[in-house]
Amino acid sequence: VRRHQEIHVVMGNEACDLDSTVSALALAFFLAKTSPAPKAAFIPVLNIPRADFALRTETTFLLREQGIPAASLIFRDEIDLGELHRAGLLALTLVDHHVLPGADAALEEAVVEVLDHRPLERDRAPGCQVTAEPVGSCATLVTERIAQGPPGVLDRVTAALLHGTILLDCVNLSPAAGKVTPRDAACVSLLEARFPELPARDTVFQALQVAKFDVSGLTTEQMLRKDLKVLSGDELTLAVSAIYVDLESFLHRPGVLQDLDAFCQARDYAGLVAMTISFNEHNEPSRQLAVYSRCETLRSAV
């Protein structure tokens, strides 16, 4: 890092879903290949701690499929953006969001470009290049950007990442889902035309859908954190976790009661509601609830 006169970080939002991750990786790759600035290093940063990456199961699946090891990625807790900014080295491109959270307010003046698919909540400084377009996936905007660049920059791995992301975000380009726009569909077609060996859309979408809800490789603690909401009142804090297995399978996990207790104690939760969601062969959801608390009154009340 110190060898460079500029560290240009491309970073998605704090949810760090597949769209944010792939948009950051693909745009940083494109900028590194095409930038006229020889002294700049282009670094995609995933905007979560490394410990949370395993929870993004559709992302870990797609990157693994494309041969990208997690060890090659840089996470938010592994790079000090504040220090780089204070040293005058940081340039920041935001993808899949355009407003930094309050904790990152000091980095606002380092933002040189924004690529987002949501309406702008605020104006950026005049020197900041802004692309905010109402498409289904930020990966569509990145694909358009790469397609406008020099031929030959786009490789098969990057194309596969963008292709899968747009298909997942736009629900396999289904008009009924209300997400897809003509630009999303055009980018999927463009990627398929450039790389005819890409798998069929249905195959890609179904694999990513399955991966999104696949918690088989997670610990109980990770399952509880994957889709967690916290309800806080004056007297107690209650956790609500969506768990993507049927209730019987969840309750038969080895040591599940100890894990539930440890999860609540470590975070001062008075109790936890586990809402299990499973799907039958017709893809219809079935939901069941389980309540865990040391307090019998709370268990009864919930």
Q: What band does 115 get if pLDDT is binned at 50, 70 and 90?
A: very high
User: Tell me: the pLDDT tens digits for 186-219?
Assistant: 999 999 999 999 999 999 999 999 999 999 999 9
Domains recognised in the chain with CATH numbers: 6-212 (3.90.1640.10), 220-301 (3.10.310.20)
Confidence of residue 124 (pLDDT cuts 50, 70, 90): confident
Q: What is the mean pLDDT of residues 76-103?
A: 95
* 3-class secondary-structure state, position 240: strand
Give the C-alpha separation, 9 to 43, whole Å.
Answer: 5
pTM (2 d.p.): 0.91
The number of beta carbons lying within 10 Å of the beta carbon of residue 162 is 25
pLDDT of 2 above 90: no
d(C-alpha 258, C-alpha 167), whole Å: 39
Q: What is the CA radius of gyration of the chain?
A: 21
- Stretch (H or E) spanning 272: strand 271-279
For 151-175, the pLDDT digits (tens) are 899 999 999 999 999 999 999 999 9
The CA angle 169-56-65, to the nearest 5 degrees, is: 80
3-state secondary structure of 30: helix
pLDDT of residue 299: 87
Checking if the pLDDT of 3 tops 70, the result is no
Helices (H) and strands (E) in the chain — how many of each? Answer: 11, 10
How many angstroms separate the CA atoms of 179 and 106, rounded? 34
Strands 90-95 and 6-11: parallel
Terminal alpha carbon distance of the chain:
52
Residue-wise pLDDT for 257-284, tens only, equals 999 999 999 999 999 999 999 888 777 8
Please return the burial class of 66, using the count of CB atoms within 10 Å of its CB with bins 0-12, 13-18 and 19+: middle
- Nearest 5°: phi and psi at 116? -145, 155
Q: How confident is the model at residue 41, as a pLDDT?
A: 94
Least Cα distance to 144 among 102, 109, 177, 181 occurs for 181
Which one has a higher pLDDT value, 233 or 2? Answer: 233
